Structures are given as C-alpha cells and as structure tokens.
Amino acid sequence: MERTIALREEQVIEDLLPRKFGKTGQLWVGVLSCICLVGLYAYYRQLRYGLGVTAMRDYVSWGLYISNFVFFVAISLVGSLITAILRLANVKWSTPLTRIAEMIAIAAIMFAALIIIVDMGRPERLLNVFAHGRIQSPIIWDVVVITTYFFISCLLLYLPLLPDIKILIDHQRTATRPFQRLYRFLGSFWKGNTGQVAISDRAINILCITIIPVAFGIHTVTSWLFATTFRPGWDSTNFGAYFISGAFLAGSGAVVVAMYVVRKAYGMDHYITDDHFDKMGKIVVLLALVYLYFNISEYLLPAFKMKEGEDAHLRELFSGDWALRFWATIFISMLLPMVILLFPKGRRPLPMFLVGIMVVIGAWFKRYIIVVPSMLHPFLPMHDVPLSYKSYFPSWEEWAIACGSLAGGMLVITLLIRIFPIVPIHETIEEMKAN
Amino acid sequence: MSELTNGSQSRRAFLSGAALAAVSAAAASCNHLKDPFSTQAAALDVTPTGEKVKLLSVDGEVIEVDRAFLKPVPHLPSVTNAEARVGIPGKKFVMVIDLARCKNLKRCQAACDHMHHIQDGQNWIKVQKMQESAHTAPYWQPTTCMHCDEPPCVKVCPVDATFKRQDGIVLIDSDRCIGCRFCMAACPYSTRVFNWNEPVLPKEIAKQPYCAETSVPQKKGTVGKCDFCPDMTRRGELPHCVSACPNGVFFFGDLNEDSVTNGAETFRFSDLMRDKAGYRLMEDLGTRPSVYYLPPVNRNFPIEAGEENDKG
C-alpha cells in the first residue's frame, strides 16, 4: 500500500510539474506578444499626441478604457470566490482550481491598475495621487482597495505555493531548470515541518477571511466611481450589489475557460475532471440567476417610473441604438448560459467552455454598455459642440491598447502557468493520501 | 623660502591675469554682438539707437540704458498659486442670467473664447435652446460653470486639482490635474472640457506659467472650465462675458453686498430674486449653484431671432 502511494506520488509530480511550451504554446505566446506590441505602439502615439487620438470627447470622456477597467476588476474577483469562499465553506473539490483562479485574479488586477494609468491625461503626474491624495475622492478609495486586494491575492497565490516550490526544487527537470534560482529565492526557507505548516495554514485562513470584505470592497468602490456622480443610469443604490454579482459571474466564466484550455493543453483529465466542470456549471447557473435578478432591479424599476433624465437613457437601451447590444448581452451572458447549463449534458467540458466564452464576452460588453450610454445622456442637451462629440466609437488606438491589455493579462496568466504548477501538487497528494 | 613664495605668487598673478584677460576678451566680443541684458542674448542682434533712457536700478542708482535694450517685462502671474487658492477675502460672487434678454448672439461665448484662448470645438459658455415641455415656449439659456457651493467636481477630484475658494469660485490647478476626468463625469451641468490634444496657442501665451485665476495657458491632458474671471474681479472689473453682452443678459456681483450689475444697470440681488422669481438649475441635486436664472418672461427677442447663431 505504502509503495503504491509513493509510486502514485511520483506520477502526480510527473504529471503536474510545469512543462515547456509546445508548438501551440509558442504560437499562443507569440500572438499575444504581438498584440501587446501593437498596443504599446498605440500607447506611444497616445502619449505623444495626447488623448485626442482616442475617440473620447468632452461628453463621452470615459470610454473603452474605463469599461475595460471595470471588466478587469470584475474578472479579478474570482480569486476570492474560488479560493476563499469555497475554502471557508470547506469545499474540497475546488482544490485543483484555486491556483488558476488566483493567477487570473492577479493578472486581471495588474492590468486593471495599468489601464487606469493609460486613461489618465497626465500619467507622469501619477505620484500626485499620493502627494495630494484626498480621501473623499472615490478614486483614492479605489487606489487603496486595489492595492490591498493585489497584495492579499499575491499572498494567497504564494503561501499555498510554498510546498510546491519545495517539490520543484527537489525535482529538477529541463522545464523547471531555468527557474531554479527563482524557486530558491521564493521558497528555499520552506522545510515543510509541522511548525511552518501550522503558521502557513493559519496565515492562509486569515487571508481567506480578509480577502472577502476586500473583494466586496474593490468592486463596490468601482461601482461607486459611477454611482457617486449625477448621471442617468448610474444614479443607483443598487450598483454595488449589481456589480459584485456580475463580477462573480464573469470571473467564474473566465475560470471555466481557463480550466478547459489548461486541461486540453496539458492533458490533465485526471486532475481537472468532468465532475469539476459539472460543479462549476452549477455555480455559473446560480451566479447567472443572481446577476439576472440584479439586472431586473437595475433596469425595470427606473423603467417603471421613467423619470426625466432616465427616460432617454433607458429608451436608447431598450429600443434605440443600443437595443441590439443590450438585449444580446442579456441573452448571451445570462439567459442562454442558464438554459444550457440546466441540462447535465450542457455541463460537460466542451459546452461549458463555450458557455464560459459567452459569459466572458457578454461581461465585457455589459461593462461597455454600463459606461458609454450614460455618458451620451447628460442632463443638459449636448450643445455648442462639434458633431463628433455627440457620438462615440473607439478609435483604432483605443482598440489596440484595450486588446493589448487583454492580451497582456492572458500573457501573464500563461507565463505563471509556465513557471508554477497549475494544479497544486502538494495538496493533490495530501488529498490522495487522505482518501 | 622667499624666492619660492615669490615664484608661486608671480605664477598665481600670471594665471589670474591670463584668466581676467580671457574673460574680458570674451565679454568684449559679446558686447558688440549681443544684448547683455537679455536672457536670450544669442537670439537678439540689437543695434544701439544712441538715445539713452534714465532708469532706477535695483540698488537705487540712476542709470542710463540705450533705448534699444529696453523690452517689456515678461508677463508673470498676478497672484501666486497659494493666493489664487484662497480667493478674495470677504466676497461671495454670484451671477444672475436674465433669460428674457438672451437672443443667442454668442458675444459672451466669443469674448470668453478669445480671452481664455479656448480651443476649437470647446466652449466654456454654452447657449442652449431649452423647452420645458412640448407645449411651452422655447428660450435661449446660456450656461457657465455654476460655481456650486457643494461642487460635485471638487468632491470627486483625487488630487485637489479643482478646488473651491472662500469667495465661492471653483478653479482648476492645471499644474496638478492628472487628467482622470472624474470631475467631468460628476458635473451634472456638463460645463467641463478636456484638452484632448496639445492646445494651439500663440507662443508668448503658451510659455507663460499657468495661473489658476486666468486659467491660461490651457495644458494638454488637463481639464478646463469657466472660472468667473477672478483676475478681472480682483481688479474690480466685470467678467468678460458680462461686459461683452450687448443685451445685458449677465449680471455679476457680490452676495455679501447684495448687489449685481451688468455694467449699465445695478440691482439689489435679493430684489431681483424676489421680484422676478429667480431660480437655479437642478436645485434638487443639492449642488447649490452660484448662478441664478431669471425666468424667460416677456422675452425681449422672439426665439427665431437667435436661430441663425444656433450651431446645434
């Protein structure tokens, strides 16, 4: 019995150690890098010629960048969901998903911060935020809470990684050799004795508890960036809950997509099983229902009263220029996934993968629909401005930068997967022994 | 010993003499070529006119300088940034806009654009064609920055770049603004504009240091807006829009003195508000603006009179 466990242990380590990129992997990294480079060139143009290279103007002064920011913040929330909430609820099946969720969270939060800097008219004055920062501005709340969330997420990735780093140091293969110095820097102090394990377990528990209010804080504050302004469509007390429920849905969609890709690319069918997809499918249905509920209260109640100000905005969304995008988003990111996932056949890996993509793309468009139409409907008429100020469609520079940031996020996730084991090795072995 | 000292002294004397000669030679060569009083000496080639002007030097001596070397002192901000942030003591500025008099002539806009070097496509003053509901009369409504007592823009600014002074004026420090445009999203009156590109300005304007009281020069990547012309009020003059309007639409004054004027007429502010039922825009938002409107009753001009100026 002892021997079989030892043998299987070796097998698990063999399966889960980071691997070199294959042909597809190299192509993937190459394509992402190219998109990032185009984005960088567009940003250079923006720095040189000013924000005028974007299609933003005085009325729509927040556009693609800000909706991208909200999207990134939303995606990043999944780290706390999968790691903290499921862990505290003592759910064991989520173990293989925790690390990928944390990696997505860290990559997303990094690019959320970056895209905000991209959106600034004077990025070189970023330090003013710290030198002259005033706590009554929601932007300062955002800076505080994003930084806190970033560090807690990094710790939540790092601490459970320590036993795995020991394994990585002990098992030098060609794929892990280039990173040995990094591993030794990060975790050579880890001996794995009971004292260290006790401290680490306690720390992880504390982090899991603290990250939940911070995660709620980060997206509530992001929603308050909008809700604290006098704008039709944003003047809502529902906004915090509405954003958080949407974020959980978007994030779990992203995890489902990543699960499928990793499983396919690395042949990890034994570790990320059909059962995982089934369970994630049930979670996605639940989250889609919650998000739909908040959508109804967000749009139906103002539409019932149709106050002046809200009127033009809501009519545009329901039956005007934005109707196609609005209803398509509701269908693609909520209703259709719900219908598909209600059937056991829909919760198999491939349909789940497609649903995940639908949810993520829908989530991205949803952010765009939250940001832009409100800006197009101010209280006073748009007057005494050139025609180009009255409508908005992002310029190629904006698209390039936004795509660059999305590609950058995926690149960070890909590189983290390349360097660290994507499924926790140590925890998998422990659970195997316990069984 | 003495020989040695002598030797070193003579060497020092020789060296310093040589240095002096070199400096004076350089100075002499400069002297007949360039203006010694200019910081951009290289760019100027001044030929003396021979006509001397008597001046008082900083030491209190009377000196004579050739007229050719005289040039205007470069424009400096009239007040320091710290003073501009405090405001004019004891004042509380208000504006009253009489909608019955507006013909959409846009002289206010033109004067404002000209004096503040506002970029094409941007207007700090906008004149909107308003209509309360389908069956009521339309009218022209000029809007400026409302200089609210509870300014939403100031609340949301993360770096204190836009601020409210004790005299009620809301201004922008373009040297501090990070260009996040939160104030633009927060302002319900849509009065703020953004410098999306490098502003096109005359050279001498562009190189001035930024002054919050004149809002000049506008800078790339920062926000701009109507400032109630505090540089004019500091001199006891009316804002440009007030004096430019031939119909006397705009009244400007001090709430503490309870008087407003458009240059030709002066009224008690409280009388105007009481007799003509003054109101403010979007009172329900709680921003408490400093700009008051008089309703468009007994209009001096039919709405059609302003149509030709309406750019939409």
Question: Are the beta carbons of B158 and A133 separated by less than 8 Å?
Answer: yes
Query: Could you tell me what percent of chain A has a pLDDT over 70?
Result: 98
Interface test with A, best of B139, B159, B310 (most A CBs within 10 A): B159
Question: Are the beta carbons of A380 and B176 separated by less than 8 Å?
Answer: no
Comparing alpha-carbon positions, the chain B residue that sits nearest to A132 is: B159
B14's tokens: 């020789």
Q: Note the residue count of chain A.
A: 435
Question: Are the beta carbons of A229 and B221 separated by less than 8 Å?
Answer: no
Question: Strand B126-130 vs strand B139-143: parallel, antiparallel, or unpaired?
Answer: antiparallel
Is 60 exceeded by the pLDDT of residue B41?
Answer: no
Contacts of A239 in chain B (CB under 8 A): none
The pLDDT of B187-206, averaged and rounded, is 94
- The predicted model scores a pTM of 0.87
Distance from CA of A223 to the nearest CA of B (A): 13
Q: What is the pLDDT of residues A14-73, one digit of tens each?
A: 888 888 888 999 999 999 999 999 999 999 999 999 999 999 999 999 999 999 999 999
Query: What integer pLDDT is reported at residue B28 of this predicted model?
Result: 44
DSSP B97-141: EETTS-----HHHHHHHHHHTPPTT--SSEEEEE-SSTTS--EEE
Is 50 exceeded by the pLDDT of residue B25?
Answer: no
The pLDDT of B173-192, averaged and rounded, is 95
Q: What is the pLDDT of residues A305-361, one digit of tens each?
A: 999 889 999 999 999 999 999 999 999 999 999 999 999 999 999 999 999 999 999
Question: Are the beta carbons of A129 and B159 separated by less than 8 Å?
Answer: yes
Residues 6+ apart with CB under 8 A from A171: A13, A17
Specify burial of residue B197 (Cβ count, 10 A radius: 0-12, 13-18, 19+). Answer: middle
Question: Are the beta carbons of B190 and A59 separated by less than 8 Å?
Answer: yes
The overall average pLDDT reported for chain A is 92
Contacts of B195 in chain A (CB under 8 A): 50, 121
Comparing alpha-carbon positions, the chain B residue that sits nearest to A390 is: B312
Q: What is the pLDDT of residues A349-379, one digit of tens each?
A: 999 999 999 999 999 999 999 999 999 999 9
Number of cross-chain residue pairs from A and B with Cβ atoms under 8 Å apart: 147
- Residue at A40: amino acid letter: L
Question: Are the beta carbons of B222 and A121 separated by less than 8 Å?
Answer: yes
Question: Are the beta carbons of A230 and B220 separated by less than 8 Å?
Answer: no
Is 90 exceeded by the pLDDT of residue A165?
Answer: yes
List alpha helices for A120-137, DSSP H.
Answer: 128-131
Question: Are the beta carbons of A122 and B179 separated by less than 8 Å?
Answer: yes
Question: Are the beta carbons of B160 and A49 separated by less than 8 Å?
Answer: no
**Which candidate from A61, A132, A138 shows the least CB-CB separation from B156?**
A138
Q: What is the pLDDT of residues A175-214, one digit of tens each?
A: 888 899 999 999 889 998 999 999 999 999 999 999 999 9
More confident residue, A254 or A80: A254
In angstroms, the CA A321 to CA A390 distance is: 13
Specify burial of residue B44 (Cβ count, 10 A radius: 0-12, 13-18, 19+). Answer: middle
Where are the domains positioned within chain B?
A: 81-308
- Residue at A279: amino acid letter: K
Is 70 exceeded by the pLDDT of residue A8?
Answer: yes
**Which candidate from B177, B188, B311 shows the least CB-CB separation from A122?**
B177
Question: Are the beta carbons of A51 and B158 separated by less than 8 Å?
Answer: no
Contacts of B187 in chain A (CB under 8 A): 230
Contact A70, A190 (CB under 8 A): no
Comparing alpha-carbon positions, the chain A residue that sits nearest to B221 is: A121
**Which candidate from A131, A132, A380 shows the least CB-CB separation from B190?**
A380
Interface test with A, best of B133, B180, B210, B219 (most A CBs within 10 A): B180
Query: Could you tell me what percent of chain B has a pLDDT over 90?
Result: 67
Interface test with B, best of A122, A130, A221 (most B CBs within 10 A): A122
Query: What integer pLDDT is reported at residue A155 of this predicted model?
Result: 94
Distance from CA of B19 to the nearest CA of A (A): 45
* Three-state secondary-structure class, residue B265: coil
**Which candidate from B156, B195, B312 shows the least CB-CB separation from A137?**
B156
| Cis amide linkage into residue B158, ω under 30° from 0 | no
List alpha helices for A171-305, DSSP H.
Answer: 180-187, 194-227, 239-266, 274-305
In angstroms, the CA A170 to CA A172 distance is: 6
In angstroms, the CA B16 to CA B19 distance is: 5
Question: Are the beta carbons of B185 and A231 separated by less than 8 Å?
Answer: yes
Query: What integer pLDDT is reported at residue B21 of this predicted model?
Result: 52
Distance from CA of A121 to the nearest CA of B (A): 4
The overall average pLDDT reported for chain B is 86
The pLDDT of B230-250, averaged and rounded, is 94
B27: pLDDT confidence band, cut at 50, 70 and 90? very low
Comparing alpha-carbon positions, the chain A residue that sits nearest to B154 is: A137
**Which candidate from A57, A129, A229 shows the least CB-CB separation from B158?**
A129
B215's tokens: 């809002």
In angstroms, the CA A207 to CA B3 distance is: 83
Question: Strand B93-98 vs strand B162-164: parallel, antiparallel, or unpaired?
Answer: unpaired
**Which candidate from B155, B192, B287 shows the least CB-CB separation from A136?**
B155
CA distances from A411 to A25, A404, B61 (A): 11, 10, 72
Contact A149, A76 (CB under 8 A): yes
Distance from CA of B219 to the nearest CA of A (A): 10
Contacts of B129 in chain A (CB under 8 A): 381, 383
In angstroms, the CA A285 to CA A355 distance is: 10
Q: What is the pLDDT of residues A398-414, one digit of tens each?
A: 999 999 999 999 999 99
In angstroms, the CA A393 to CA B278 distance is: 41
Is 70 exceeded by the pLDDT of residue B74?
Answer: no
**Which candidate from A62, A121, A226 shows the least CB-CB separation from B221?**
A121
Distance from CA of B147 to the nearest CA of A (A): 16
Contacts of B193 in chain A (CB under 8 A): 58
Query: What integer pLDDT is reported at residue A177 of this predicted model?
Result: 85
**Which candidate from A133, A382, A389 shows the least CB-CB separation from B159?**
A133
More confident residue, B15 or B258: B258
Contacts of B196 in chain A (CB under 8 A): 50-52, 54, 56-57
Expressed in angstroms, the distance from the first to the final Cα of chain A is 13
Q: What residues pair up with B128 in beta bridges, in sequence order?
A: B141
The pLDDT of A139-149, averaged and rounded, is 95
Question: Which of the residue ranges A176-190, B3-17, B132-146, B202-216 would you say has the lowest mean pLDDT?
Answer: B3-17
Contact A121, B159 (CB under 8 A): no
Contact A58, B122 (CB under 8 A): yes
Comparing alpha-carbon positions, the chain B residue that sits nearest to A134 is: B158
More confident residue, B121 or A40: A40
**Which candidate from A52, A56, A139 shows the least CB-CB separation from B180?**
A139
In angstroms, the CA A47 to CA A42 distance is: 9
Comparing alpha-carbon positions, the chain B residue that sits nearest to A140 is: B158
Question: Which of the residue ranges A1-5, A66-70, A430-434 would you say has the lowest mean pLDDT?
Answer: A1-5
Count CB neighbours of A384 within 10 A: 19
A87: pLDDT confidence band, cut at 50, 70 and 90? confident
Question: Are the beta carbons of B121 and A225 separated by less than 8 Å?
Answer: no
Fold of B81-308: Alpha-Beta Plaits (3.30.70)
Strand order in the sheet with B259-261: B266-268, B259-261, B250-254, B93-98, B291-294
More confident residue, B185 or B39: B185
Contact B50, B16 (CB under 8 A): no
Query: What integer pLDDT is reported at residue A287 of this predicted model?
Result: 94
Is 60 exceeded by the pLDDT of residue B32?
Answer: no
A369's tokens: 């629909």
B98: pLDDT confidence band, cut at 50, 70 and 90? very high
In angstroms, the CA A287 to CA B127 distance is: 48
**Which candidate from B128, B156, B157 shows the least CB-CB separation from A383?**
B128
B30: pLDDT confidence band, cut at 50, 70 and 90? very low
B20: pLDDT confidence band, cut at 50, 70 and 90? low
